């Protein structure tokens, strides 16, 4: 599970054996969310408050290209097709 980005204590990871749609797992001190990359949307949330979700979505929007590129690279290496 490579970390593709860190900001404000949030760790954005991609599981290399994960499934579509393209998404990242956002982790911070006992909380986690699964957030779609394109479109950017919360798919699941375990423990974050709304203000934290807002911050996560803002970070995602600023770095969407980075996350999508990482998703495609990790899954291409494992034989996934686009």
DSSP letters for 9-58: TEEEE--TT--SSPEEEEEETTEEEEEEETTEEEEEEES--HHHHHHHHH
* Cα-based distances in Å from 31 to 44, 74, 75: 11, 24, 25
Q: How confident is the model at residue 80 (pLDDT cuts 50, 70, 90)?
A: low
Is pLDDT of 76 > 70? yes
The pLDDT tens digits for 4-62 are: 999 999 999 999 888 899 999 999 999 999 999 999 999 999 999 999 999 999 999 99
């Amino acid at each position: 599970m490579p970390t593709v980005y860190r900001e404000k204590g949030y760790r954005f990871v991609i599981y290399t054996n994960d499934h579509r749609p393209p998404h990242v797992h956002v982790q911070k001190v006992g909380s986690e969310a699964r957030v779609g990359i394109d479109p950017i949307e919360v798919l699941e949330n375990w423990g974050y408050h709304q203000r934290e979700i807002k911050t996560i979505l803002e970070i995602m929007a600023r770095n969407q290209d980075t996350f999508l590129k990482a998703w495609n690279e990790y899954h291409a290496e494992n034989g996934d097709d686009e």
